[in-house]
Chains A and B, each alone.
Chain A
Amino acid sequence: METVNATYSYITNFEVMQILQHIKGTKKKWGMHNLATVTYEALQYLEESPCKTQTRESIKNYLCDLAIYRLMPHEQLQMVNDPPTSALHTQLLIDDNKVPLTDEENEAIIQLTHKHFSNTTTEPVQANQQAPT
């Protein structure tokens, strides 16, 4: 085994969840219990996290709307993985050595979270949730 690039790119929790759901849906094969275990456990975690209600579309729109706040890529990634729902939460995801967001910006980001992801938190039945179990 040779590591060409340990971090070729970052991947959102949502994408990981989709791939794992796909793996879970395929037929079990001999000698793959490690894959089955990690798939099952990681899915359990991800399906309890905010990403279970996300869709490709909602993430795209969310990021478009976030663009005006000039966030760093890793901050955006974190916001997608764990959309902030309180001011305290937003600040945690922002780098300490950066000019902090103003109250208005903070509030606006929280509103964006609600706008793009909250409709799905209230009605838990969603397309991507009905993957085979």
Chain B
Amino acid sequence: MFVLAELKDNVRIAPDHFNLKLVDAVRDEIDRKLANKVLLNVGLCIAMKEIVSLKDSIILPGDGASHTEVLFRYIVFRPMVGTVMTGKIRNCSREGVNVTLGFFDDILIPHAALQHPSRFDEAEQAWVWEYPLDDGGKHDLFMDVGEPIKFRVSREIFEETSPIGPPKAEGQQSQNASSSNAAAAATAAQEVKTPYKIIGAINESGLGVLSWWDQQGKEEEQDVEDGEDNTEYENDDDGEGACEE
């Protein structure tokens, strides 16, 4: 789930921090800059692990601060594709199921990657796994908000979110002042980009809401055969096999 990323940065230490030890001042400065931020193609930065090396500090004309080139290792949240993680359901929408880990929210399990067959219950605003029963009927398994859920990371998407050009919303606002509010709101909504998004999948036996598999695990501890030849595409069969026991 977590990795160490080796990064290099030029750290500016303001004169009012000269009373601190350089290592501590540098560490604080980097934590201030990176903690809880997403670095493009690196992941969500959590905290400093260690400083590897400090180059000589330099001062620049006209600036009382010192500048130091630092090589350091930072704890970064970036699960490998294929990792199985446990999170909680944040909410469900037509799009799929949103999962949160508490410190990281941008996890989506698209509806195509849910257990098959699933349907979206409009009244409950929840996805439902229509678990097939032996007698041809089905058993509805709801994915309620707050339930712990196990999923596999299937894809990661990084997106550049730093501003590239002048914001478009402003231009619109000045042009047609009447509808400006609505238009600006709409553009703003569209422009909210997620810097780091994880796409998950639960279409394998053993994945999904934890309580789905709890009882079964106890009942058929020995029935591992089913789990073994399970591939992502044949989870139906597995589901039924599990059900028969």
Residues in A lying within 8 Å of B, measured CB to CB: 1-13, 16, 19-20, 23, 29, 31-32, 34-35, 37-39, 41-42, 44-45, 49, 74, 78, 81-82, 85-89, 91-93, 95-96, 100-101, 103, 106-107
Tell me which residues across on chain A come within 8 A of B6, comparing CB atoms: 3-5, 8
Distance in Å from the Cβ of A54 to the closest Cβ of chain B?
A: 14
Tell me which residues across on chain A come within 8 A of B223, comparing CB atoms: 87
Q: Do residues B32 and A6 form an inter-chain contact, with CB atoms below 8 A?
A: no
Within 8 A of A (CB), among B198-241: 204-207, 213, 216-217, 221-225, 227-232
Contacting residue for A87 out of B1, B8, B224, B229, CB 8 A:
B224
The chain B residue sitting closest to A38, CB to CB, is B36
Chain A to chain B contacts (Cβ below 8 Å), 25 pairs = A1-B34, A2-B9, A3-B39, A3-B41, A5-B6, A6-B3, A6-B43, A12-B2, A13-B1, A19-B75, A20-B46, A20-B47, A23-B47, A31-B32, A34-B32, A34-B35, A34-B36, A35-B36, A41-B103, A45-B103, A74-B80, A74-B82, A87-B221, A91-B230, A92-B150
Q: Do residues A16 and B31 form an inter-chain contact, with CB atoms below 8 A?
A: no
Contacting residue for B206 out of A10, A35, A91, CB 8 A:
A91
Name the prevailing secondary structure of the B interface residues.
mixed
Distance in Å from the Cβ of B210 to the closest Cβ of chain A?
A: 10
The answer, yes or no, to whether B124 is at the interface (CB within 8 Å) is: no
Q: Do residues A7 and B32 form an inter-chain contact, with CB atoms below 8 A?
A: no
Given the interface contacts A10-B2, A88-B213, does A38 sit within 8 Å of B103 by beta carbon? yes
Q: Do residues A9 and B4 form an inter-chain contact, with CB atoms below 8 A?
A: yes
Residues in B lying within 8 Å of A, measured CB to CB: 1-9, 28, 31-37, 39, 41-44, 46-47, 49, 71, 73, 75-78, 80, 82-86, 101-103, 150, 152, 204-207, 213, 216-217, 221-225, 227-232
The chain A residue sitting closest to B29, CB to CB, is A31
CA A85 to CA B231, docked complex, whole Å? 21
CA A74 to CA B82, docked complex, whole Å? 10
